[in-house]
Structures are given as C-alpha cells and as structure tokens.
Amino acid sequence: LADQIEELERELARAALRHARMRALAARLALADVEVDLLWWIVAAASEPAVLRASETLGGSRARRGATLALFAEVAAIAPEVARELALQLARGHRLIASGLVRQADDDVSAASPLTPTPRLMAYLAGDDVPEPPIERIAIERATRDRFVYDVEQLTTLRSLVDLLAPTARVLLAIEGPARTGRRHAVAFAAGRPVLSLDLDRLGNRPAAVGAALRALRRELALVDAVPVLANVTIDRVAAAETFAMLAAFVEETAGPLVLTTRLHALDLGSARPVVRVTWTAPDVAARTTLWRQALGADADLGPGGLEQLAHRYRLGPGGIARAVASTRIARPATADSRLTLPELVGGVRHNIAEGLAGVATRVDVTQSWADLVLAEDTLDQVNGLVARLRHGHQVLDGWGYREKLARGAGVAALFSGPPGTGKTMVAGLIARELDLELYQVDLSQVVSKWVGETEKQLARVFDAAEAGHALLLFDEADALFGQRSTETRGAVDRYANLEVNFLLQRIEAFGGVTILTTNLDAAIDKALKRRLAGHVVFAAPDDDERATLWQRCIRTATAPLGGDHDYDELAMMFPTMSGANIRNAAIAAAFFAARDGASAIGQEHLERAGRVEYRSMGFLLADRSRPQGRNLR
C-alpha cells in the first residue's frame, strides 16, 4: 500500500503540474473553459491509448489521425451553438492553430478535421522548459544578477531599455553593436523576464530553415512569457527577398516588444511598428578585466599585469571572453599544467578571430624581419613614427587624456602608396609582427558584391572581428574600394557606390584597431579618407645604393653558398628600374640557376642571368647580353 500511495502521490504531482501549466497557457491565450476542455481532448487523444481506443469505437479509424471537434462535442455534451462557434473560430484561424501549438490535419475546416498537438506542447505540459532548436532561452536568476558586469555607458543603456521592454509596449527595438558583447543578456537583465532568441546568422539565407525557426519561436512565445529576440540580423531585402518577407511578417504579427540585434547601422525591416535604435558598445577595459577574472577564476597564471594586458588588447564582450577561454582549454595538450597561461589565452582568442574572418580575409604569416627591409631614411622615419603611435596609444590616449580629443574611434589607419614591389605589403607585415598582431588581408573578391547592402554587411563583419581580436587589417589595392565618390550621380550604380564609400569612411573612423591600405594609384583614393588617416607613407622606387643593398640582402641566407665575385653596385646599375620585389625574384632565380648548373656557389654570372630574365618579364628590351636598356615595351 505504501508503494501504491507513493505512486499515486507522484501521479497527482504530475497532474497538478500539467493543470498548472494548462492554466498558465489558457491565461496567455485567453482561452475559455470549453476551449481548454477541447485542448485537453486533443492532448488526450494523442497521448492516452485508452482515449484513442474509445475514439476509434465512436468515430472509426479516422480517429487515429487526431481528435475532431465533432467527437469532442458529442463526448462532452457541448451545446450545439457552442460547438458551431468553436467550428467558426477554427475555420478563421483559432489562437491554438495560429500559435502553431495545434495542427489541423486536413486542408478543409470541417468539424471532422483531425486536430493534433505539436510535440512541443506535449513536452511543455509534461514539465519540459527546453525550447525547440534553434531557439535559445536566456534567463537571469535574481541570485546571479550581481555577477553581471557593465560599464557606465552600458548601465545608461540598460536603464533606457526597462520601459521599452514592458509587456504592453509594441515597439521594435534595434540594438546595434558588436556580436558576443552581451546584448541578449542585457535584454533579459533589463526586462526582468526570460529571452527567447533566434540566431539568424546560423541559418543564413535559407528560407525553409528560417520559416521553420520562426514557427518554432511563435510556438514558444505562446507557451512562455518572454521577450523575443531576432539575433544577428543582417538580411538584405534585395538579396534575400523571401527571407526578408518572412521576417517582416513575423515582426508585424508579434504582440508586445520585439528586439533585433545587429552589427549593421540603421537596419530596416520595413515595419510599421515604432522603431527605437540603441547602440550597445563592448565593455570598457575595467569591465573586461573583471569579466576575464570571472571567466578564468583560479585556473590561470598570467603573471604581473597579464589580466590587464588581455583586457586592454582585446575588445571582447562576455560571450567572446567565454569562447576564448573555452577554446584555450580544448586546444591545450592533455599533459599541460592545469593553469592557463597568457600565450595560451592569446591563442584561444586568435582561434575565434579566424572564425569571424573566415571567407572574407586571409591570415598572412610574416616571415621577414626588419633586417630584410631597405627604405629611404625619411620613409623609414615615417614607418617608425607609425609604430610608435600604435605602441604608445594607450599611454597617450588614456593616460594623458587625449582620447577625448578624438571625434570617434581611437584606431589607426594608414595609407601606403607607391609603385609595385616597393615594400608596402612587407612593411604592413613587419608592423603586425612588431606589435604581435595577427595580419589579415581582406579578400576583395569575397567582400565586394553586386547586391545592394551586401558589401557593407561583409565589411561590417570584417571590422567587428578584427577590432575584437586586435588584428591588423590590410586592404591591398585599396583604390578598388576607397575610390573617389562621384559628384554627379547619374544612376543607381553611382548612388550605391557612393554609399559604400560613405560606409567605409565611417567604419574606418570608428574602428578601434589598425588598418593599412596599399595602392599604386595615390590620386584615385577619396580625399575624405586621406583626412582620416594617421599617416600616409609614400614608397619610392629604390635608388642605386638601395638597389645594391637589396641585391646583397636578398641573395644572402644562413646556408646559401655564395661566390666571392659579386658586384652588387654593378647589378644595381645594370637593372636600374628593378624594385625590391623584382630583385628578390631575381635572387631566388639565380639560386635555382646555380643548382641546375651543379655549381659550388651562386656567382655573379648567375645573378646577371637571373636579372636579365626578370627584366624581360618586366617588359624591357635587352639590347645585348651585358647591358639592358631602359625602353619599356608595354
């Protein structure tokens, strides 16, 4: 008897839970008692074998497909006028069907149409609070609110969100800012209610997947009092018209406040709702230090100032910091010491930079050193001044208070211009190596798109990932992106091209990292960009002495066998129009000539032969085998 009583008590507890949840659902959907009874009938017909057998006895084999209104009215002895009203409501799209909790099996809307509950409704009544994938539920318990860290600017934003997120506020709230900086948790914190989030970035432009996810979100909103959040919205209404239309319809149909998070500025879904735009920034250095300390706990040995160095260097939010720590723990060897080190954490951050820039920028490994560089003294002074600005930026801007003098961002953008092969890309790599930055070269073929708004979206992704990860961005052949804007817009092409340049100028100015642009066409760069530059370094073609030094440095390695007959001054005069890149190519070619000839050393003859080959590839006519002439054939 004790076992039976215990089982009965457990069943009563489960029944009480189901009834409590049904009462909450009825209140949310404003269901009348008869509608609640109908919903119980639909659930019972799908979950109780005894009810299914009785339904088959009364209604035939059709009952296997689901409960019907006709059989419910007969079993429950519903008055005819009440049954007719229920049938009319089901025909017009009853709240149970519109919410997606109940499905109508047939296209017809007769009283004999089978009705079935969705698996999510069944799980909810059984006590399951886990939403359907890809929906994510974010809730902040009162006991954990003190663990959330916000800086002064973020706290000001949070206070402004409280009234906007009231349950009765029909507002479209667009929170614009970098990804993984705690935007969704900020919504849950300010609203005092859970958040139901759908990350659209993971679904991409797949209308079927987006449609299924929006239906799952609509079902979940019918079950739970929560704030819906469409996260990482970057949908373009031209390139993804079908997806855009589904999102716009969802925005219009959803009651109460609806939140969008996006990296883009002034994203428009074409909604008639009142729109409020809020800028959400990454936490400041002090807040990031606390976040790193919380994420690491006692599981790190960073040395003196290591925590502050991480916080200053990487503009990560709580999500980015958590991912970096998790990546570090997974990537480290199993035999390593249990405490994480600073280089390991830097590696964890870089793993996530590569993910953010995948497909739009390529990581460049820097193998050269400053000893390989040959530049004019004035040019080298400019480069050293740029390095000093980057190295001592924290001291001057924050320590000496000059950040308040800056209009927007504290980043550094520099333009390297000059003929091909004069060392522009090489210097960008050396600067990255000097400052221990990751160097990423932006792939213009992947960034520039014919679709309106797509170029801006990809560039926003590039800048956000690079700024968070403290990477140096290299825009090679920058005149393709930063060209002069048209003063006369003769059509849509000119207008949208100007918009792209405007967007780039804004992002360059607001960017907190390092951007280097290289070009062979200085005059083609927009003048407004030049005003925003921290430096403009002009790389001239090398003179005779510089070319001689380049020949000497390019041919020498630690193990290369060199002859004693090299005359670098003679080589510099023989090939007067060669740049550093041309000389490097010739030096390597000379080594292959020597290897092919079976020579014991790389001699002057190999260098001259390789120089003539390179000169021909440059398009110059060779009058004889000893002295090239300067006539260009191109």
* Close Cβ partners of 45 (under 8 Å, ≥ 6 residues apart): 51, 52, 55, 63, 66, 67
Going by C-alpha positions, the residue among 295, 517, 567, 561 that lies closest to residue 415 is 517
pLDDT at site 160:
93
pTM metric for this prediction: 0.74
Residue 182 in contact with residue 319, Cβ under 8 Å? yes
pLDDT at site 13:
76
pLDDT at site 492:
45
Q: What is the pLDDT of residues 368-405, one digit of tens each?
A: 888 888 988 899 998 998 888 877 766 777 677 766 66
Residue 581 in contact with residue 592, Cβ under 8 Å? no
SS3 243: helix
**Residue ranges of the chain with per-residue pLDDT less than 50:** 486-487, 489, 491-496, 626-634
User: Could you count the other beta carbons within 10 Å of the beta carbon of residue 11?
Assistant: 10
Q: What is the DSSP string of 119-141?
A: HHHHHHHTT--PPPTT-EEE---
Q: What is the pLDDT of residues 65-81, one digit of tens each?
A: 788 888 899 888 899 99
Q: What is the pLDDT of residues 120-161, one digit of tens each?
A: 999 999 889 899 999 999 999 888 888 899 999 999 999 999
CA–CA–CA angle 161, 165, 167 (5° rounding): 160
Q: What is the pLDDT of residues 240-280, one digit of tens each?
A: 788 888 998 999 999 899 999 988 776 777 778 889 999 99
CA–CA separation, 140 and 185 (whole Å): 8
pLDDT at site 484:
59
pLDDT at site 406:
63
